Chains A and B, each alone.
Chain A
């Protein structure tokens, strides 16, 4: 069955509280800068950003579902569309597009033409391995995990490394059935 066309996030974006874009960009920049100073290894910084994103994602998904009123998605394709069209619009103010589906519909690319996180940023020579926006992949991973989808997310293209857009490759590993950790008598 064809995925239902998701509503756009414009209306929600207009109604939520917002901060100045430069404040946001520079705050995120300061976090990355501090991580680089503290952890020294670029690899470690990537990991840490991903972990921070994960921690954001597992909370953010509730906020997202509460405010956006999207109905539950029938398949992973629809999920990806909702993330790109509604999720990114709602929290970052930009819209992404979803492309590059593989045959069995478990792997796709979310392409961001415009990314408010990277205004002003230019990678210096000693940080070439840094995935500056790695927090985004963590957010998506965390959010999807909370709605019982295990995913693996990698960067396929990065504007800071000279590509023409940001491309996140999202791969669905498995749908985790809901678990009930509590026994009835507890």
Chain B
């Protein structure tokens, strides 16, 4: 399992709708802000890259010291972004694909407003379990 991993989902309107620290490293107080900062800085690159390829998984698109940003863009232009320090492309790809499926189920819930925060605890548990499995 990766020592550092921060996963966020950004809606098409550039609003973060889900965040999770899924790394096994001991929490540093400033880490959360740093991770957010790096991920948000990568959004511009995502925007440029997303239209150059038909693949949803954009692989590693940005780095900060030893941290790498991998991104997966859904058809609805929701971005699943992962900040990590491991080099496990296959695992990350599978992780994104399965989270994508979970996200679709959330989206199909008639009581969920697209673009609003994902508060489902079920989703949270599943994402963390997937992170343990693949990262």
A residues sitting closer than 8 Å to B (CB atoms) are 26, 28-30, 32-33, 36, 119-125, 127
Whole-angstrom CA separation of A159 from B110 in the bound complex = 16
- B64 contacts chain A at the CB level, 8 A cutoff: no
Are B108 and A122 in contact, CB atoms less than 8 angstroms apart? no
Counted as pairs of residues, one from A and one from B, with CB atoms less than 8 Å apart, the total is 33
Whole-angstrom CA separation of A125 from B119 in the bound complex = 8
Are A124 and B119 in contact, CB atoms less than 8 angstroms apart? yes
Are B119 and A36 in contact, CB atoms less than 8 angstroms apart? no
- B105 contacts chain A at the CB level, 8 A cutoff: yes
Whole-angstrom CA separation of A114 from B66 in the bound complex = 49
Residues of B within 8 A of A29 (CB): 109-111
Are A121 and B119 in contact, CB atoms less than 8 angstroms apart? no
Residues of B within 8 A of A127 (CB): 111
- B122 contacts chain A at the CB level, 8 A cutoff: yes
Are A124 and B110 in contact, CB atoms less than 8 angstroms apart? no
- B120 contacts chain A at the CB level, 8 A cutoff: yes
B residues sitting closer than 8 Å to A (CB atoms) are 105-106, 108-112, 119-120, 122
Are B111 and A123 in contact, CB atoms less than 8 angstroms apart? yes
Whole-angstrom CA separation of A124 from B119 in the bound complex = 8
Residues of A within 8 A of B120 (CB): 122, 124
Given A122-B106, A124-B120, A125-B119; 18 other pairs, CB 8 A cutoff:
A26-B108, A29-B109, A32-B110, A32-B111, A33-B111, A119-B108, A120-B105, A120-B108, A120-B109, A120-B110, A121-B111, A122-B109, A122-B111, A122-B120, A123-B111, A124-B111, A124-B112, A127-B111
Residues of B within 8 A of A124 (CB): 111-112, 119-120
Q: Which residue of B lies closest to A125 (CB)?
A: B119
* Closest 7 A/B residue pairs (Cβ): A29-B110, A120-B108, A33-B110, A120-B109, A122-B109, A124-B111, A122-B120
Residues of B within 8 A of A119 (CB): 108
Residues of A within 8 A of B119 (CB): 124-125
Residues of A within 8 A of B105 (CB): 120
Q: Which residue of A lies closest to B111 (CB)?
A: A124
